[in-house]
Structure 1
Amino acid sequence: MDYCNLALFSDLDGTLLDRNRQVSRENREALAHFIAGGGLFGISTGRAPMNALELLPGVPINTWSVVLNGAEAYRYQTGTVAFPRVLPQLRATMLLQWVLERLPQVNVLLCSESRLFFLSPQDLADPDFLATHQPCTFTGLEAALCYPWLKLLFAAPRPILERLEGWAVDHSILEVMDRVYTSPTYLEFLPRGVHKGRCLRDLRCLDVLRGRRMVAIGDYTNDLELLAEADISVAVANALPEVRAAADYHTVCQDESAIAHLIYEILPRI
């Protein structure tokens, strides 16, 4: 099949990755087939570029990707960044200081353009959270001040995150930042107006993508704007109900090679 008019953007966790955070052989082979047919493939993830890459051995990526939930676009072939959007550091610092002082049980990750900073004490780090957000550096808040901040990620049980969210509302943090739950235990703060869909809209204007039909596939709340911006929107079977309702097409679940099903079974019918 000729895919020369298509660009496919896939979410990672819950979509391209299975429950063991692996990419199936079927998905890798399907993506190679898609690219060989002229298609462009990029990821669309909340993860930082190098953190995402560690999960994608053998996965071909041949165009721009949406990373950090839309805070920037990244081109893996050249290491080039486009459309970066930065958090207001004063308000972000207020939020971080309050969390670190009042909610020490929260794991705090600060994302800059090139580095991940783990701000919580190392002895309080959740092993799974830490293992899945590498490479990162343990540091204090002051050491990170000289870098531009693109995203804050807080990991904790939902009731604690809701307390954090309430403080942010009460102290006008949300006047200059947006927040989104990216899993039941992850709460992220992004620059105002930033989401995956906005970044995908920015990418449309680039020569390499101009004129292509954008295909997007995802599973969670942070994928809703991405699906709304896409010309062809797809939800995996394990997606949240509101994500499935927002999608034009539905595919199998993440553990059944959803990307392969999309490429071989859905795209030929469109």
Structure 2
Amino acid sequence: MDIRKITLLSDVDGTLLSSDGKVSVKNREAIRSFIEAGGHFGIATGRGHINVLGFIEGVAINAPSILYNGSMLYDFTEKEVLSSEALPVTKLSEAIRWIQKAYPGIMIHIYTPDTCHLVSEEVHADEKILSDHQPAVFSKLEEALQEPWIKVLLAGENSELKEIEKRLESELEGEMRWVYSADIYLEILPLGVSKASMLKRLKEIHGEDHHIIAAGDFYNDLEMIKAADYGIAMGNAPDEIKEAADGIAVSNDEDGIAWIIEAILSDELEERAGK
């Protein structure tokens, strides 16, 4: 296949990043070689344009990228939002107030177009989670209500997130959706929004003859992996993700993205990754 008609979309955490939270030199060099050969590389992540840059420093990106788990399509070259969706704030804000009271240890991140508002108490903040989601500001809920909400991230104990999820199912089913991006992260998104929904928009931009390869490692990647022309599960992905994928790569700690690119450039992807 003509490399100029291929886009590789990579999830970030657990896929492009190794377990130490960094992009390996081998991955960075492989991405640059892929672009120089005529390919298109973009990311598809739950992170937003305001806090992903610190994690992908030195990574060449020349394709529109999916951010906020599908709530935004962003052009890193032009620093331009190409498309975005917003949450129904009124009903969701009522749920947020309940979470603040019932689960003070849950960190509540509200992403607006330019800011990540933390509307939970700073005294309960987990330092590791806090450092992984910068820049962010501690705000009152009323401040966040002055802007559109792109995504809400709830971070904390999985057992508490499961209890919150039950409440969301009983009160907000059919008005928005939610997905786990890690055991400690429950993300609330606009209804119908996923990485897969923005993948369709990418097809419209590039044309139906364009081939999209997507790689990911967790449940928020599942729909994208299924929707891509060729979906790849990383070696560190849960079995359910691997079963849904067209192929399986090595893990994120084995330079998985470089492994995928090498297979694409040698026209051996299906042979190497195929199940």
- Shorter-chain TM band: over 0.9
Cα distance in 1, alignment partners of residues 162 and 187 from structure 2: 12
- The residue number in structure 2 matching 1:213 is 211
Superposition map of 1:232-247 within 5 A:
232-247=230-245
- The residue number in structure 2 matching 1:144 is 144
- The residue number in structure 1 matching 2:158 is 158
Matching of residue 52 in structure 1 with residue 52 in structure 2: yes
Deviation at 1:53, TM superposition (A): 1.2
Which residue identity lines up with residue 235 of structure 2 in the other structure? A
Cα distance in 2, alignment partners of residues 198 and 2 from structure 1: 25
Deviation at 1:150, TM superposition (A): 1.1
Deviation at 1:2, TM superposition (A): 5.7
What is the CA deviation profile of residues 113-170 of structure 1, one whole-angstrom value per residue up to 9, with x for unaligned ones?
Answer: 2211111111111101110001111100001111100111111111101111111122
User: Under a length normalisation based on structure 2, what TM-score does the superposition of the two structures give?
Assistant: 0.94
Distance of aligned partners of 1:80 and 1:210 in 2 relative to their CA distance in 1, 3 Å threshold: farther
Deviation at 1:225, TM superposition (A): 0.8
Distance of aligned partners of 1:71 and 1:117 in 2 relative to their CA distance in 1, 3 Å threshold: same
Matching of residue 177 in structure 1 with residue 180 in structure 2: no
- Please give the root-mean-square deviation of Cα atoms over the aligned residues, in Å: 1.3
Structure 2: gaps (5+ residues): 270-275
What is the CA deviation profile of residues 31-57 of structure 1, one whole-angstrom value per residue up to 9, with x for unaligned ones?
Answer: 000000100111000001121111011
Deviation at 1:83, TM superposition (A): 2.4
Cα distance in 2, alignment partners of residues 230 and 56 from structure 1: 23
The list of structure 1 runs, each at least 4 consecutive aligned residues, that deviate by more than 2 angstroms after superposition, is 208-211
Cα distance in 1, alignment partners of residues 94 and 173 from structure 2: 12
Superposition map of 1:12-23 within 5 A:
12-23=12-23
Aligned residues: percent identity?
A: 36
Corresponding residue SS for 1:205: helix
Corresponding residue SS for 1:264: helix
Cα distance in 2, alignment partners of residues 25 and 141 from structure 1: 41
Alignment length (residue pairs)? 268
- The residue number in structure 1 matching 2:190 is 191
Distance of aligned partners of 1:47 and 1:187 in 2 relative to their CA distance in 1, 3 Å threshold: same
Corresponding residue SS for 1:160: helix
Superposition map of 1:66-145 within 5 A:
66-145=66-145
Structure 1: gaps (5+ residues): none
Corresponding residue SS for 1:179: strand
Which residue identity lines up with residue 176 of structure 1 in the other structure? E
User: Under a length normalisation based on structure 1, what TM-score does the superposition of the two structures give?
Assistant: 0.96
| Aligned partners of 1:7 and 1:212 also within 8 Å | yes
Which residue identity lines up with residue 227 of structure 1 in the other structure? I
- The residue number in structure 1 matching 2:24 is 24
Which residue identity lines up with residue 38 of structure 1 in the other structure? G
Deviation at 1:209, TM superposition (A): 5.6
Which residue identity lines up with residue 47 of structure 1 in the other structure? R
| Aligned partners of 1:2 and 1:37 also within 8 Å | no
Which residue identity lines up with residue 218 of structure 1 in the other structure? G
- The residue number in structure 1 matching 2:273 is none
Cα distance in 2, alignment partners of residues 10 and 175 from structure 1: 29
Deviation at 1:266, TM superposition (A): 5.0
| Aligned partners of 1:7 and 1:209 also within 8 Å | no
Deviation at 1:259, TM superposition (A): 0.5
Cα distance in 2, alignment partners of residues 211 and 122 from structure 1: 49
Cα distance in 2, alignment partners of residues 199 and 11 from structure 1: 13
